[in-house]
Amino acid sequence: PKPIIIDCDPGIDDAVALFLAMALDSLDVKAIITVAGNMPLAVTERNARCLVELAQRSQVKVYGGCPRPLLRSPLFARHVHGDNGLGGLLLPDPQVPLQPTHGVTALIEILRQSPEPVSLATLGPLTNLAVALVQAPDIAPAIAEIVIMGGAMRAGNVTPSAEFNFYADPHAAQIVMDSGIPLTLIGLDVTHQVIATPPRLERIRQLQNPVAQAVVEMVSRYGSTDQQVLGLVGPPLHDPCVIAYLVQPDLFETKPGYVAIETASDLNLGRSVVDFQGLMGHLPNATVALSIDSVGFYELLLEALSLY
Ligand code: BDR
Ligand code: CA
């Protein structure tokens, strides 16, 4: 299996991504690290531990990372993910402990000790990874690739220009873009193609296991703002696309490009500027996802959830 570390801010779609990753034999989840994002750090840590426990994957270690972005004040998304970050899904206090090591330290140590390069799946603001790269630049060669949910080539979802994860910590995102590590960017242009329509949710419900039930309960209460504004027929499952890319990249159409993040302007703060034509005079620093086979994505998700 491919070793991966998941950095996340659960978050309803983060939760689905964690379930997808922990179900698949082709992935070996080395650690889950959380960050302040959709919710404050204390909530994302707790949610990750609850989700690991519900999935009966208690051997997967959960670490807490940075409690705030590099420069900006924290920005949460309670209106999207509910007051507990899981759309109100109530889970018992977890037995799975929070690891005593800081998430950034754990990320550095795991990478330094790994006999093979590890892939990173980032599902939230990029604060933890940026701090790790600043603190320990030697980890770069130990990272096989970074697959990032973030950005938008068309409209954003926090401002007209910016997507949440990049808007929440644009400076961290820029550090990661400049890292020279192989990057894949999966933005809203792609994630808005994987809509959890009522028939798809019904198929998940019919799996009739506790994880599938939790997914249906959370996703049913997710993304209503996006849906209304964009006229979608269900919520988009942003973060699971990252996991899908790690196991089935052929589901995606991609193109190399140069990506930079706006960190200075008020109007465009957090915008991912994607240059496919070399207009800015840079070689590509990222593989940019353009589209996804959404039918194939839901087949993968259903198969994975059926394993619980
Ligand atoms: C991203 O923002 C968060 O609210 C979601 O979990 C996802 O990672 C989508 O913009
Ligand atoms: Ca997220």
pLDDT of residue 167: 98
* Residues lying with their CB under 5 A of ligand 2, a single-atom ion: 9, 11, 14, 123-124, 239
Percent of the chain with pLDDT over 70: 98
pLDDT of residue 225: 66
Residue 14 CA: nearest ligand 1 atom is: 6
CA 94 to CA 147: how far, in whole Å? 28
Report the pocket of ligand 1 as residue ranges, CB < 6 Å.
11, 13-14, 38, 77, 80, 123-124, 149, 157, 163-165, 238-239
CA 127 to ligand 2 centroid distance, Å: 13
The answer to whether 81 is a known catalytic residue is no
Q: 155-162 — which CB contacts under 8 Å span 24+ positions?
A: 155/188, 156/188, 156/270, 156/271, 157/188, 157/226, 158/75, 158/270, 159/269, 159/270, 161/262, 161/267, 161/268, 161/269, 161/270, 161/271, 162/262, 162/268, 162/269, 162/270, 162/271, 162/272
Residue 124 CA: nearest ligand 1 atom is: 8
Provide the edge-to-edge strand list for the sheet that holds 183-186. 62-64, 27-34, 2-8, 118-122, 143-149, 183-186, 286-292, 252-261, 272-275
CA 243 to CA 227: how far, in whole Å? 23
**Any idea of the CA torsion for 31, 12, 230, 189, to the nearest 10 degrees?**
10
Query: What are 140-187's pLDDT values in tens digits?
Result: 999 999 999 999 999 999 999 999 999 999 999 999 999 999 999 999
CA 291 to CA 259: how far, in whole Å? 17
Q: Which residue has the tokens 């950005």?
A: 151
pLDDT (mean) for 102-126: 98
Give the number of other Cβ atoms within 10 Å of residue 67's Cβ: 14
pTM over the 0.95 mark: yes
Q: Does residue 103 contact residue 65 with C-beta atoms inside 8 Å?
A: yes
Give the number of other Cβ atoms within 10 Å of residue 82's Cβ: 18
- Ligand 1 binding pocket mutation candidate from 12, 35, 239 (most atoms within 8 A of CB): 239
- Ligand 1 binding pocket mutation candidate from 7, 8, 38 (most atoms within 8 A of CB): 38
pLDDT of residue 245: 99
91 three-class SS: coil
Query: What are 239-292's pLDDT values in tens digits?
Result: 999 999 999 999 999 999 999 999 999 999 999 999 999 999 999 999 999 999
CA 283 to ligand 2 centroid distance, Å: 29
SS (H, E, C) 38-50: CCCHHHHHHHHHH
Query: What are 32-49's pLDDT values in tens digits?
Result: 999 999 999 999 999 999
pLDDT (mean) for 23-37: 98
CA 240 to ligand 1 centroid distance, Å: 10
CA 260 to CA 178: how far, in whole Å? 8
CA 24 to CA 5: how far, in whole Å? 14
Task: Please give the radius of gyration of the chain, using alpha carbons only, rounded to the nearest integer.
Answer: 18
Residue of the CA atom closest to atom 4 of ligand 1: 38
Q: Which ligand is nearest to the CA of 13?
A: 1
Query: What are 203-251's pLDDT values in tens digits?
Result: 999 999 999 999 999 999 987 666 766 777 899 999 999 999 999 999 9
Of the candidates 102, 171, 238, 282, the residue annotated as catalytic is 238
